[in-house]
Structure 1
Amino acid sequence: MARARSSLILAAFATLLLGCQPALDPATTRGASGADCIALFQQYDILDRFMPTPRRDRWSVPPELMRQAEWLRDGGCVTLSADLAGMEDLPVVPVSDSGAAVPPTTIHVGVVTTSEDDARANRYFEARGLRAFSIGKPGLGRRVYVGPLGTAGALEGARQAALEAGFAYPYPIGN
């Protein structure tokens, strides 16, 4: 009973947080810009963090989270295999620490839709000296991250490597 009440409170809090931001919908996200995709990912993260854990007798993925994932896909925010074509042929330029120190920061590189693309992305970043990992999200795909990184130069190098590989919307997230 207490768990159900706390889940409802968290869901209400997440709804309140999302209410403070203008909602992005499919009509405005088709061909979304980088800023729009980043905002959609951030909204997805808020929903994901505060949605109650699914139970056996309920949807495995809450409809609100599925709708947000659909907006990300429809907005062109998900990286497709065609976007990564030729990634393995790029020169390997190691990303090194340089510039000012920054708090440990991870970069959200993007979302891939196949396990093959996930493995390719991890190999690509690891060949450049970056720690790469991914987390699967139902209805969305595998979210690829690199980091944590501790200098401004490493952050920019990782971001640039992501763009060169074909990931269109890399952005830093806090740890």
Structure 2
Amino acid sequence: MPAARRPPPTRFTRKQAPASTCTPSPPTSRHKSEVRRVAAEVLAALPRIEVLINNVGGYWNTRHTSVDGIEHTFAVSHMAPYLLTNLLVERLVATGSARIVNVASNAQALGRIDFDDLQGERGYSGARAYHQSKLANVLFTYELARRLATRRVRATPCTREWSVPDSERRIPDASHGFSSR
């Protein structure tokens, strides 16, 4: 979206909503049991969830798997927020007019989901795994938005790059990888 038409970034501070609660989950939620524990704690502590923001990602140059047997980059960058969202979605629906924001990355534009080698067992590339996981975030969010459209919950994908001023944004440069604008 051109800068002239882009809405200004929303600034939220604790002073603006002193009754709000922010419950961060561990950024390394690479085990399904960790994600389930966090979801149980959130459900026990919060009778309402108005906003769920999933902002997690990781990039590993060498392939390894989580204790659940899932390729590590995909486990952390996609499966953890996917599972957490699904464990909390009914509370979000019950709250009404809730929002889910899944932070991806511009790397999703380079992604391709290889269903024949989702785990990267036949040929691993850290960059390819990361791109795939971020594309999975965006696709999941679009499908979630479609499924929740009639249930008063809005799901939105975003990237950090979409909220950074143009003067600070790093843009792709065909000759040198990335450069500052």
> Normalising by structure 2, what TM-score?
0.28
Normalising by structure 1, what TM-score? 0.28
Q: Which one has a larger percent strand, Structure 1 or Structure 2?
A: 1
